[in-house]
Structure 1
């Protein structure tokens, strides 16, 4: 580590993969992927994996994950028209929350162009009018994420 910062992630740091396309509208005036687009990719990688791995519409579960924190570290430019590979790993699987890491890669290199950190906190979805009390992760979600979590 240099200066206390974690090292730049590599493809080996992630367990599950998906690919996304970049669009002309995704880049800013400098031809870099717009910052907001990184967060869309991070959100999509997490929620698409949850939907696929659980085999259910995660929006209808008794408890749903709401975003408590999201951030991104940038290492290299990402642009149009090349696709991006999104690697997903679970950093921490708690009782009522999960912390994900999403690596963003473009091209054949082994080092991430960016890495997102994304925290879901699970809240009661049975009565949205009554408020959103923090609750344990649903078993179907925990079972889907356990293989991605550190041992």
Structure 2
């Protein structure tokens, strides 16, 4: 059985990206709006896909479509914090991948937020599910969490 998301630590994530919050990220309660968190998830996932998996969003024959997402909040964040985003892959199938993102305040070991989503790779035009490109799969496998009983999609 896996640990609750609130028990994650920095060491549970393989790839990191820093994000300097903006004044406009705050909502009227002076914390980062929940919709901004989904932008951050999208940013780290797509940065990894482009830089480490060779994906070219403008021209790749396959694209990833989000079929499910989640987000749990454990501590508030607000401008002018710098956030560290950690990325891992929890499940990797032939045409799908489940990402998890930990959002950490700088110098903190416990996440303020943990969330993520599942991509299904499809043909750009036909929108039919297709096996991901070998380079994409190879890159994503570097982030795959190796745990007993981990299932494939």
**Which of 130, 143, 146 pairs up with 1:148?**
143
| SS class of match (1:65) | strand
Residue by residue, what CA displacement relative to the aligned partner does 1:123-150 show, whole Å, maximum 9, x if unpaired?
Answer: 012xx2xx31111111111011111113
How far residue 36 of structure 1 moved from its aligned partner, in angstroms, is 0.6
| SS class of match (1:47) | helix
Structure 1: how far apart are the matches of 2:73 and 2:11?
18
Structure 2: how far apart are the matches of 1:92 and 1:70?
14
* Residue matched to 1:40: 39
What are the within-5 Å matches in structure 2 for residues 1-151 of structure 1? 5-125=4-124, 128=125, 131-151=126-146
How far residue 28 of structure 1 moved from its aligned partner, in angstroms, is 0.8
How far residue 115 of structure 1 moved from its aligned partner, in angstroms, is 0.6
Structure 2: how far apart are the matches of 1:134 and 1:41?
25
Deviates more, 1:100-109 or 1:49-58: 49-58
> Structure 1 residues 150 and 17, CA, compared in 2 at 3 Å: closer, same or farther?
same
How far residue 96 of structure 1 moved from its aligned partner, in angstroms, is 0.9
Structure 1: how far apart are the matches of 2:67 and 2:19?
24
| SS class of match (1:88) | strand
Aligned residues of 2:53 and 2:140 also touching (Cα < 8 A): no
How far residue 8 of structure 1 moved from its aligned partner, in angstroms, is 2.5
Unaligned runs of 5+ in 1: none
How far residue 56 of structure 1 moved from its aligned partner, in angstroms, is 4.2
How far residue 6 of structure 1 moved from its aligned partner, in angstroms, is 4.3
How far residue 21 of structure 1 moved from its aligned partner, in angstroms, is 1.1
